[in-house]
Amino acid sequence: MPGGEAKSVKILSATHYVMFATALLLGSGWSPSGHGASQKLVLTGASTIAPLAGELARRFESLHPATRIDVQTGGSARGINDVRNGVADIGMVSRALKPEERGLHAHAIALDGVGIILHGSNPIAALRRQQIIDIYTGKIVNWKDVGGQDARITVVNKAEGRSTLELFLSYLKLKNSDIRPHVIIGDNVQGIKTVAGNTNAIGYVSIGTAEYETGHGTPIKLLPLDSITASVASVRNGTFPLSRPLNLVTRGMPKGLVRDFIKFARSEQVHDLVKAQYFVPISVR
């Protein structure tokens, strides 16, 4: 057995290992204040806003080469939390701030609506507000009770901490504990896929996302609310009852890079990005 020879190879490879590990750490700038040189912003929060914020960040970085904007997701509640305890510089919150969140500053960057969606083959053309309440609280369990086919309704609800859920609940004046859901979903596209895959499902998602999907042949349809068509257009002209601002939230008055980024996100030069994500741009005076 070639003991000595193999042993030296072994030690060599162990040394190599340590050298490689150190080199990787050093080469990548490992030090507690490694990112002090360039300015960095961290955004966390609503998954509805995250794709838009990512695009805003990319354009902002290309205009200001020394900055890095990191966008994380996880829901509006996380955005509020992370801003409060300083993990994030800016929180993304896809609703208006609640009274108990008054200490924070909200800066709207776009408008969005929440629309009720059914499977494309469902013959129902409209539901009254009371019918929606009865379906979501489990009083109506069959489509034939609202004029549809004889089939059980699958109620799709959003997970706790999602602002789409909070907006929907406040529109129907319900508590989440009143709702009898069969499926609980997280992000918008998951909701659309759930409804598109079940002919008897009812759900609610961001109108922007839903309009994109219907335009690309996904078998879902948006129901009008209070006889107003659910569309990006009706959100834009302010008639749609279930619309919401998409906010960037800060702990204090924004300063420095935070202020620059928020100003940029609300400016006219990003309207094309907002529209590309099927949201309604806000014109800031």
Cα 224 from Cα 234, distance rounded (Å): 10
* C-beta closer to another protein: residue 72 or 131: 72
Give me the half-sphere count of Cα atoms (radius 13 Å) on the Cβ side of residue 88: 27
Cα 158 from Cα 60, distance rounded (Å): 32
How many other CB atoms are found less than 10 A from the CB of residue 129?
Answer: 13
| Pairing, β 105-119 against β 67-71 | unpaired
Give me the least distance between CB of 237 and another protein, in Å please.
23
Give me the least distance between CB of 230 and another protein, in Å please.
15
Q: Tokens representing 22?
A: 């150190």
Give me the least distance between CB of 187 and another protein, in Å please.
4
φ/ψ of 248, rounded to 5, equals -100, 130
Give me the least distance between CB of 167 and another protein, in Å please.
18
* C-beta closer to another protein: residue 10 or 152: 10
Q: How far is CA 194 from the centre of its chain?
A: 17
* C-beta closer to another protein: residue 43 or 140: 43
* C-beta closer to another protein: residue 131 or 214: 214
* C-beta closer to another protein: residue 3 or 103: 3
* C-beta closer to another protein: residue 28 or 177: 28
* C-beta closer to another protein: residue 37 or 253: 37
* C-beta closer to another protein: residue 125 or 276: 276
Give me the least distance between CB of 150 and another protein, in Å please.
32
Give me the least distance between CB of 212 and another protein, in Å please.
4
Continuous segment of H or E residues that includes residue 62: helix 50-63
Going by C-beta distance under 8 Å and a sequence separation of 6 or more, which residues neighbour residue 109?
Answer: 49, 52, 56, 246, 247, 248, 262, 265, 266, 274, 282
Which candidate, 129, 124, 161, places its Cα nearest to that of 146? 124
- Residue 89 · residue 41 · CB < 8 Å: yes
Cα 134 from Cα 144, distance rounded (Å): 13
Look-up: residue for tokens 């009812």? 202
Give me the least distance between CB of 73 and another protein, in Å please.
5
Give me the least distance between CB of 260 and another protein, in Å please.
19
The SS3 call for residue 28 is: coil
Contact footprint for another protein (CB under 8 A)? 1, 3, 6-7, 10, 17, 21, 24-25, 28-30, 32, 34-35, 42, 47, 50-52, 54-55, 58, 61, 68, 70-74, 87, 186-190, 192-193, 209, 212-213, 216, 276-278
Q: Tokens representing 130?
A: 């009371």
